[in-house]
Structure 1
Amino acid sequence: MSIWFFFLCQFSVVGYALLGGVFLAFSDFIMRSLAHTSGRGGIEVMQVINREVFRYVFMALFLGLVPVSLVLAGYATFVFSGAGATLVALSGMIYLAGVFGITLVCNVPLNEALARMDLTTDDTQRFWTNTYLPRWTFWNSVRTTACTVASALLLLGLLRMAQA
């Protein structure tokens, strides 16, 4: 195994785990805490979070792992063989579908809908309580699981490849 691929795998294990931790925090206690505020307070905080997330390390890591995951999946598929290579390839595909894909298809549309809403209306409060909180948190929990699985599969794949 080339040294650059080995280091890329190690970086990705850590990256997947870090993102999974952020997603876990939201699913475990941040969204629940926002639900216990006045609806207006939770909505306002989430609107701010959704604007601020674009400016920091999270977004660079989240987006940066897309091409990295493509490289992991492709390189493991076409250059290596065996169970370890399969696990490495699966880890990249799980990140792409279960984290990046779910974000684009499920979480982002909810964030965009919330961003357009007026904090003072009853419709916004109903959307927040009946739609946004349960759906966003569910899909975020899927992302948490996908990050965790991708990280674990990649670590196991590396171990299997090292043993081969």
Structure 2
Amino acid sequence: MSVSPAVFGLIALALASGLVAGVFLTFSDFVMKSLIACAPTTGTQAMQSINRKVYKSLFMILLMGLVPVSTLVSVYSAVFLTGNLQWILITAGVLYCVGVFGVTAIRNVPMNHRLDALAHGSAEAGVYWPEYVLGWVRWNHVRWVTALAVSTCYMVAAVHVAAQTG
């Protein structure tokens, strides 16, 4: 029994977007709860450090790399595929670009930049910290749920392709 390269590619996309969902879920589930339980100066300092380190991480490669790949898969699907498979793959790409990357760029990153600009231990940082956590986690929930939906779309597409070619 042989499995088509398309199935492997779709499984890879499902796993990659699932990893992105998992990282976001980790923050929503317990990292941010732990940081808000700390003193505002401690939580702020830890989050500032996390936000600076993330740019040189494997996570960032996945987060950013999935944008062009998901876009290409969506465009390919719109042009060359039909039926349910076409719509599943277009949906995955749109969800990723809007609900994961778009929310990150428009909501979470600006909050991170504002937090980073505040002086460590300042009164302003202490006042902003609870507001930051509330808003950041709210939008982070959108990101992990959307990334999980994207992963599901890619896995369903892989099963669909495997059934057609098997």
TM-score interval, smaller chain: over 0.9
Distance (Å, rounded) in 2 between the aligned partners of 1:23 and 1:49: 13
Structure 1 unaligned spans of 5+: none
Q: How does 1:103-142 map to 2 (within 5 A)?
A: 103-129=104-130, 131-142=131-142
Three-state SS of the structure 2 residue aligned to 1:41 is helix
* AA matched with 1:42: G
Aligned partner of 2:108: which letter? N
- Is 1:34 the counterpart of 2:41? The answer is no
What are the residue-to-residue correspondences of 1:1-164 with 2, within 5 Å? 3-129=4-130, 131-164=131-164
Q: Report if the CA contact (8 A) 2:6-2:161 is conserved.
A: no
Shift of residue 7, structure 1, vs aligned partner? 3.1
Q: How much does 1:126 deviate?
A: 1.0
Letter in 2 for 1:149: A
The number of aligned residues is: 162
Q: Is the 8 A contact 2:73 2:90 kept in 1?
A: yes
Q: TM-score of the superposition, structure 2-length normalised?
A: 0.92
Contact 2:7 2:161 in 1 (8 A): no
Shift of 1:157: 2.2
Contact 1:9 1:72 in 2 (8 A): no
Distance 2:106 2:9 in 1: 27
2:93 counterpart letter in structure 1:
G
- For residue 118 of structure 1, give the secondary structure of its aligned residue in structure 2: coil
Deviation at 1:92, TM superposition (A): 1.2
**Percent of aligned pairs with the same amino acid:** 32
- Deviation at 1:4? 4.7
Q: Decide which moves more: 55-64 or 3-12.
A: 3-12
Q: One-letter code of the match for 1:109?
A: P
What are the Cα deviations for residues 130-164 of structure 1, in whole angstroms up to 9, with x where unaligned? x2000000101100000000011121122233334
